[in-house]
Chains A and B, each alone.
Chain A
Amino acid sequence: MLYEHNKDNLRRAIKQLPEYTPPPSLWDQIADGLEEEGDDQAPLKEAVGRLPGYTPPVSVWNKLSRQLDEDQSRKRLRVLRRRQVLQWAAVAAVVLSAVAWLMYEPGPKVRLQYAQETLQEFKLEVDWNTDEGTFAQLEDVLAGVNNPEINKLRMEYEELSTAHQDVEAMLVSYGQDPKLIRQMADIERERSDIYRQIIEQI
């Protein structure tokens, strides 16, 4: 196959070519020529008429009719298959919805209840940090000490101070619950105990 390298140039050049309209007499001449050609075809028609005719063997017809039958049954099968698919889809839908119903967990039921309670004292104003000054002084003193025994006590003291802060944060977050106050009291007792032990050793 030829390949035109300058396709665009060629196209442009073709467009620039002048156009000419043929004279009407030319068309008449062509029409006359066509009519004359009709006479020349007469012998051909005659020859075709003389060609022998053949009847196809019976097997060909049988084969054709069998093919037609098969096409019919295939169509029927296709219809049947479509029906089956629909049936299975319906069964699957039922099973899925049953499973969904079984797995369905309804959202939580939420309700409010109102009551009254009598407390000995609602607001327990306890300031846990009255001794923090004393503890801070101890920390200053400890900063200059490097004795293994005191270091161990210091680690215990630090653990208890962290616990003190944890309980304090909980008292802020969940309120002055007597149980929390008891926990704080236990931790403070242990912390004071360690404090005494450190003081004795310094």
Chain B
Amino acid sequence: MRHSLLAIVLLASTLQLQAQEVVQVVTKIIEKTFNYQDGYEVNVEGQKAEIFVETWEKREIGLRLEISAKHPERSVAEKDLETVNFVAERIRNKVYLRNYRFGGDEQTESILTVVYYITLPEDCPVYVKNYFGAANISNLTNRLRIFGEYSQIDIDNVKGLLDIRTRFGDIIGEKIDGNVTINARRSDVTLYEIAGNYQINAQYGILKLQPTTGLLGLDISAEKSEVYLYGDNPDLFGYTLTATHGKVDAPDNLRLLALENTPEVQKVQIKPQRGETYPMITVSVAFGDVHLEKVPSEGLRY
């Protein structure tokens, strides 16, 4: 019995070994530093790139770009690596960082990956355009514009002017404060601990937002989407929630003032008990529901 068990274990491990494959990874590492001056902007245009943007104290823009090719044969990986081109240059006040593939229509034999590590002063305006891949941005304070397609967007602790447009790429953010505009199509938007002013347009997505003290206004207009609002203290804000071909869901202890209640439209208002002026949260969803919920005791998770 023991022998047969051992045999099975051995057989299983050999099968696993057979399935595994050793590949050669050739990585081109490009490093460059640009002197920074007020008025400069970093302009990234990635293609299937993972883009990390972080900040530092130096008045410099640092770039580390890694382009890799994976293939069982090293020569093939080396050859395919050469088909990925890059640009890292400053023209007047713009620092352009790009990658693209020569002969993009031709099948590559290797798996190609591109990673940008960009470190810059926190007040440097940033524009990121990414087609596939992912963008990861933190600690900026000035102006951030993102245009993503099929690219996930992560933003953490960002202040200032934010303009995000995305298709087929989810947005995940935390500690955001500023004037924020988001246009999301076929993308989920999850934003926790948000302050400032928000204008969000969404189609085909799940929106999860947690407003916090410091929120000045939140205006969501969504279609074929589900909207979740999490609030520790719904007495802080005024709400106008509308669901067309959907329903509005709120905790029982809140006093909902029905403004419209037809088979097609449900519109409610919630006003804080105290205070004459308060920030307004307006949500309007067509073909979807609006949920106002308490923050679960185990906390919010992405």
- Does A111 have its Cβ within 8 Å of any Cβ on chain B? yes
Report whether B150 and A166 are in contact in the complex, using a CB–CB cutoff of 8 Å.
Answer: yes
Q: Which of B23, B35, B47, B150 contacts A122 (CB 8 A)?
A: B23
* Cβ–Cβ < 8 Å partners of B204 in chain A: 156
Taking CB atoms and an 8 Å cut-off, the chain B residues in 33-67 that contact chain A are 33-35, 47-48, 63
**1/0 contact string of A127-159 vs chain B (CB within 8 Å):** 000000000000000000000000000001001
Of the 9-residue stretches A1-9, A25-33, A89-97, A169-177, which lies at the interface with chain B?
Answer: A169-177
Residue of A nearest to B81 (CB): A112
Given A105-B90, A116-B23, A120-B20, A175 and B35 touching (CB < 8 A)?
no
> Once the chains bind, are A122 and B72 in contact (CB under 8 Å)?
yes
Given contacts A108-B30, A120-B20, A122-B72, contact A173 B25 (CB under 8 A): no
Contact A117 B70 (CB under 8 A): yes
Query: How many angstroms between the C-alpha atoms of A195 and B25 in the bound complex?
Result: 40
Closest partner residue, chain B, to A122 (CB atom): B21
Q: How far is the CB of B81 from chain A (nearest CB, A)?
A: 8
Q: CB-CB < 8 A to B141: which residues of A?
A: none
Q: Report whether over half of chain A's contact residues are helix, strand or loop; otherwise say mixed.
A: mixed
Q: Which residues of A contact B35 (CB under 8 A)?
A: 102-103, 105
Residues in B with CB closer than 8 Å to A156 are 204
> CB of B294 within 8 A of chain A?
no
Residues of A within 8 A of B107 (CB): 172
B111 surroundings in chain A (CB, below 8 A): 122, 174-177
Q: In the complex, what distance in Å separates the CA atom of A175 from the CA atom of B107?
A: 7
Report which residue of A106, A108, A170, A187 has the largest number of chain B beta carbons within 10 angstroms of its beta carbon. A108
Does the CB pair A117–B22 fall under 8 Å?
A: yes
Q: How many residues of B contact A (CB 8 A)?
A: 44
List residues of chain A with CB within 8 A of the CB of B22.
116-119
Q: A117-B70, A120-B20, A170-B132 are in contact. Are A177 and B29 (CB under 8 A)?
A: no
- Nearest-neighbour CB distance to chain B for A177, whole angstroms, equals 5
Q: Is the CB of A172 within 8 A of B30?
A: no
> Which of B71, B101, B109 has a CB less than 8 Å from the CB of A173?
B101
Known A120-B19, A172-B106, A173-B105: A114·B150 in contact at CB below 8 Å = no
Whether the pair B21, A121 counts as a contact (CB closer than 8 A) is: yes
Q: Does B265 contact A (CB under 8 A)?
A: no
Neighbouring B residues of A198 by C-beta, 8 Å: none
Q: A residues engaging B (CB < 8 A)? A: 102-103, 105-122, 156, 159, 163, 166-167, 169-170, 172-177, 180, 183, 187
- Other 10 A-B pairs with CB < 8 A, given A122-B23, A174-B132, A175-B108: A110-B28, A112-B28, A116-B24, A121-B20, A121-B21, A156-B204, A173-B108, A175-B70, A177-B111, A183-B132
What are 12 pairs between A and B in contact, CB < 8 Å?
A105-B90, A107-B32, A110-B31, A112-B26, A112-B28, A115-B24, A119-B20, A167-B150, A169-B104, A174-B48, A174-B113, A176-B111
